[in-house]
Amino acid sequence: MKLLRVMLKPSPSRALGAAGATAAAAAASTHHHHHHHRLRCPYSHRATKRTFYCSSSSSSVRNAQNFDDDKTIPLNERKAKHDSTRGELKRWHAWAKEKIKENRGSFSSFDGGIGGSKDGDQHHHHDIINNNDPVDEQSLVTELEWLLEDVVASEGKSDNISMRMSFDQMTALWNKRIDDRYPIQYLTKSSQFRTVLLYVAPGVLIPRPETELLIDFAYQHVKIYGKKDHLKKLPWLDLGTGSGAIACALATELKDTFSKANAGVYATDFSKEALEIAKINVERLHLNDTITLLHGSWFDALRSYDGIKFAGIVSNPPYIPSDIAANLQPEVGRHEPMSALDGRGEMGMGDLDIICESSHKYLAPGGFLALETHGGEQALRVWEKLWNTNLYEDVRVRSDYAGVDRFVTARLIDAKKVDRFSSTSSDDD
C-alpha cells in the first residue's frame, strides 16, 4: 500500500513473519516477565477534551463505541465498509500521534518513565520488582502503525482508500487504548502467534512472543525422537489452552509428523469462556479435525479418556506469585483474566505443581514435557521437582529471548520405571 509505505515506517512484527518478527521484537526488549510483554502502554489519568478533527461533535465520537461490531473477526480479516481519502487518513494519523504526546506525562509517571533507565541493570531490576514494562513512546507509535495496517483494506491509484473502520470508530478505539490502557490486541481482536493469526478477547490471556519458543522445543524434540512409531501415532496435549494459541501452532507445525492414525492435539481449559474463544480459532483455522477441546481443570479434563497417553505435553500455566500478580501494569492487571496469571500457592507454583506431579501418568515412554515458568528460582524449582522423580531424562532449564531461564523441558524414560513409580505412589497414598 503506497500510502502506508510513505506515511509509516515498516513494522518489524508485520514484515518479518511470525517467528522472525517475534525473535526480533523480544530480543530487543529488556522486559523479563511473561505477563507484561510489550503491551505497550499508556493510560491517562486525566480526561482529554480533544476529539477527532473530522467529527461533527464530541457526541459523534462517544456514539462510535461499536468499533467491535464484528465481534469475533480479527480486524484485518473484516470486509471494507468505509471509503475515505489518503489526506483524511494522514490527518487522523497526525491526531493519533499527537494524543500519544499529550498523554506522555501521565502514563510515564505511572510506569516509571519513558524509554527506560540509563542504567541497564537498574532498569532490569525495576521491571522485575514492579512488573511494569516502562512505557516506551515509540512502542505506542508502532501500535498505531499496526492499527492503520489493519484498518486500510485497499488503495487505488487515486486518492481514495477503502477502510475496515470509520474514523469515528478508529477514534473511539484509540481513545480507549490510551485513556483506559486497554490492550491493542483486544481492540483489534487479533494476536499473531507464530504462523497463525488468532482471535483474542478479554476472556483469554494475550499470547506472548516468548511462549512461541515452546513450539520450537516441541519441534526439535519431534525431529530427533518423534520418528518412533508409538509416538507418531499419539496425540499431543496443551494444558490451559486459553485462546488455543499453543494447540493451533502445534497442530499447524507438527501436522507433517503425525501418522494417519494420530488424533492430533487435545487442548484443555477450566474456563468455558476461554474454550469458546479457542473454538472460534480452531474453526477459523480449519483445525476441527485436528484439535479436540476439553473442559476441565488440568488433567481432570481427561477423565473420560481412561488410559490415554500423549507424545508430548506443553503448557503455559498461570505462574505469577500472588503478591506480584496484584501489582501488574494496567494493560495486564485491569484487563487480562487474573485466573490465567496468578499461579497461586507458594512462589506461584500451585498449578505448576499439579502438572509436574501428574504428567508422567499421561506421557508415553519417550514423551516430551515443556513448561513455561516465571523464570529464575521458580524454573529451578520445577527442574528439581521433575529431576527428583527419577522419571525423566534430559531435564533442562531453557532461556527465553532475553536470556531469562524461562522454560523447563524433559523427556519421560522407559515404561518400567514409570510403572514402578506409579505403584509406589499408590502405596504411599
Q: Could you state, in order of their start, the residue ranges of all structural domains in the chain?
A: 2-189, 209-428
pLDDT score for 157? 72
Lowest mean per-residue pLDDT among 60-69, 135-144, 181-190, 276-285: 60-69
Question: Is residue 144 within 8 Å of 29, Cβ to Cβ?
Answer: no
Residues 12 and 29: their CA atoms lie apart, in Å, by: 13
pLDDT score for 105? 72
User: Could you give the angle at the alpha carbon of 40 between the alpha carbons of 36 and 43, nearest 5°?
Assistant: 105
238 CB-near residues (< 8 Å, 6+ apart): 244, 246, 247, 250, 265, 266, 267, 268, 314, 315
Higher-pLDDT residue of 305, 70: 305
Does residue 63 register a pLDDT over 80?
A: no
φ, ψ of residue 95 in degrees (nearest 5): -65, -45
Lowest mean per-residue pLDDT among 40-49, 334-343, 369-378: 40-49
Mean per-residue pLDDT of the chain: 79
Following DSSP, what letter does each residue of 87-118 receive, concatenated? HHHHHHHHHHHHHHHHTHHHHHHHHT-SS--S
DSSP state of 338: G
pLDDT digits (tens, 9 = 90+) for 391-418: 999 999 999 999 999 999 999 997 655 5
- The pTM of this model reads 0.79
Lowest mean per-residue pLDDT among 115-124, 190-199, 254-263, 274-283: 115-124
Higher-pLDDT residue of 25, 139: 139
Lowest mean per-residue pLDDT among 126-135, 166-175, 243-252: 126-135
φ, ψ of residue 132 in degrees (nearest 5): -115, 130
Question: Is residue 65 within 8 Å of 172, Cβ to Cβ?
Answer: yes
pLDDT score for 425? 55
pLDDT score for 419? 56
Does residue 215 register a pLDDT over 60?
A: yes
Q: So what's the architecture of 209-428 in CATH?
A: 3-Layer(aba) Sandwich (3.40)
pLDDT digits (tens, 9 = 90+) for 98-123: 999 998 776 654 554 333 333 433 33
For residues 60-69, average pLDDT: 43
In percent, how much of the chain has pLDDT > 90? 58
Does residue 426 register a pLDDT over 60?
A: no
For residues 202-210, average pLDDT: 94
Question: Is residue 182 within 8 Å of 176, Cβ to Cβ?
Answer: yes
